[in-house]
């Protein structure tokens, strides 16, 4: 069964950093774009960052450009590296997978993604 599980959420001070992990099981990530999304209380889910299936392209939300990066390892895990964090980065963070064996650029539009984790809470507060 295809499953995604997020790890690493928690409380971080403004200006701090945090790394989230997204572990996949039941399938290989080689042919999937992976995106990170977040949802703040009372707001819609928004795309944060994604990496294409081949790892060649990364797409960002303007709100995190220069502060967040994404990487994937050889063990079916994708990481979200967050730095210079702001209170507005607070929310539940989800990773998601979209089957895309082509070298096309990934998208951070949530409706393209069919497989989702359950999320991990991130709070940025002093």
| The pLDDT of residue 27 | 85
Confidence of residue 104 (pLDDT cuts 50, 70, 90): confident
Structure-token match 């790890």, residue found: 7
Mean of pLDDT over the chain:
94
**Residue 97: strand pairing partners:** 34, 115
pLDDT tens readout for residues 84-98: 999 999 999 999 999
Confidence of residue 1 (pLDDT cuts 50, 70, 90): confident
Task: Copy the structure tokens of residue 41.
Answer: 């209380």
Reported as type and span, the H/E element at residue 11 is strand 10-12
Q: State the CB neighbour count (10 A cutoff) for residue 103.
A: 10
């Amino acid at each position: 069964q295809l499953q995604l599980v997020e790890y690493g959420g928690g409380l971080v001070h403004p200006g701090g950093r945090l790394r989230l992990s997204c572990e996949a099981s039941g399938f290989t990530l080689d042919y999937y774009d992976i995106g990170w999304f977040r949802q703040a209380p009372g707001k819609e889910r928004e795309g944060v960052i994604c990496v294409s299936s081949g790892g060649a392209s990364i797409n960002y939300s303007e709100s995190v450009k220069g502060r967040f990066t994404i990487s994937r390892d050889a063990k079916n895990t994708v990481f979200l590296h967050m730095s210079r964090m702001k209170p507005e980065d607070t929310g539940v963070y989800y990773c998601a997978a979209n089957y895309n064996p082509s070298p096309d650029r990934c998208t951070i539009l949530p409706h393209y993604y069919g497989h989702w984790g359950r999320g991990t809470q991130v709070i940025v507060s002093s």
